Amino acid sequence: MKFLAQAAASLALLGGFATSSPVVSRAAAGPQSTLQQVTDLYPDPSGKAKMYVYVPEKLAPKPAVIVALHYCAGTAEAYFTGSPYAQLADDKGFVVIYPESPHDGTCWDVSSHKSLTHNGGSDSASVASMVAYALKEYSGDASKVFVTGSSSGAMMTNVIAATYPDLFQAAIVYSGVAAGCFVSTAGLVDAWNSTCSQGESHATAAQWANVVHDMYPGYTGARPRMQIYHGSADAALLPPNYNETIKQWSGVFGLDADKPAEVKSDFPLAGYTTTTWSEELQGIYALGVGHTVPIRGEDDMAFFGL
């Protein structure tokens, strides 16, 4: 495999990453409650990541928990106001965790050995700790825990699905890269990887699956169902990353990436192609859509089973 890590993205790249990450806004009425920060109430392995949570006024008994991960240069507040999950929580009574990256530029650490290892520390362990806190604090349903994110948050979605597969039942990735693709051979935290971002990191399905397996050695349990979105005009994380991500999870699930069970053109929108390999893996490729693919909240709920 061809991995070349660089220390960090330039400010221009980070700025472009953020401004090219539009998401669907919630309805003008807004949520019934407000975003709240949780401080000093959960063990944070990184010692830095911030936890914000949205709890609707009408909380369901044993509510589901959704983790919503922001993009580079984003914040928990920005993803709270720019994504539809709080409004959907009002309707369905689930809890939303909005983690906030502690790093300059607020990209997530998807490059260090710590974050790419189960219980290794750094951001992936911090997010897992937030989930454990929410399940206990709000009497959540451990069988209904989900994760999603856009751009850098999509990268972390893939990483946490690999490092904590026993924690999540499903994951939705909006314009990311395969788990481990941004690895830093120097072990750098929150490092930029131009080889990966430019779509030049290629491996077989088996090799990509081994990357996932190495993040949690010895794990043989269930893994979260994966839904992967990517745009054909993505200039930040180039389109070949879609194929590599599909190869990775098809390898993990023992599927043949070249033999999907179903392909639907112009679904769920004109120009979108939805490819289904099994109930564990589905990809949506959006023709002419850049970075990032807009969030489809109601479709997310259907995939999560909510």
Q: Please determine, for residue 28, whether its predicted confidence score (pLDDT) is greater than 60.
A: no
What does the radius of gyration of the chain's CA atoms come to, in whole angstroms?
18
Q: What's the DSSP call for residue 181?
A: T
pLDDT tier for residue 272 given thresholds of 50, 70 and 90: very high
pLDDT at 44 over 90: no
Contact (Cβ atoms closer than 8 angstroms) between residue 199 and residue 239:
yes
Cα separations in angstroms, 243 against 197, 231, 236, 250: 13, 11, 15, 10
Assign 48 a pLDDT band (cuts: 50, 70, 90): confident
Q: Is 151 a catalytic residue?
A: yes
Q: Residue 79: phi, psi to the nearest 5?
A: -75, -30
Asked if pLDDT for residue 3 goes beyond 70, the answer is no
Q: What is the reported pLDDT for 4?
A: 30
| Residue % of the chain over a pLDDT of 90 | 84
Comparing 47 with 205, the larger pLDDT belongs to 205
| Window from 7-11, 109-113, 207-211, 301-305 with minimum mean pLDDT | 7-11
Q: In the prediction, which pLDDT does 42 show?
A: 66
Which is catalytic among the residues 111, 112, 151, 175? Answer: 151
Q: Residue 223: is its pLDDT beyond 80? A: yes
Is residue 143 pLDDT above 90, yes or no? yes
Average pLDDT over residues 10-17: 31
**What is the C-alpha separation between 286 and 230, in angstroms, rounded?**
6
Mean pLDDT computed over 18-34: 44
Mean pLDDT of the chain: 90
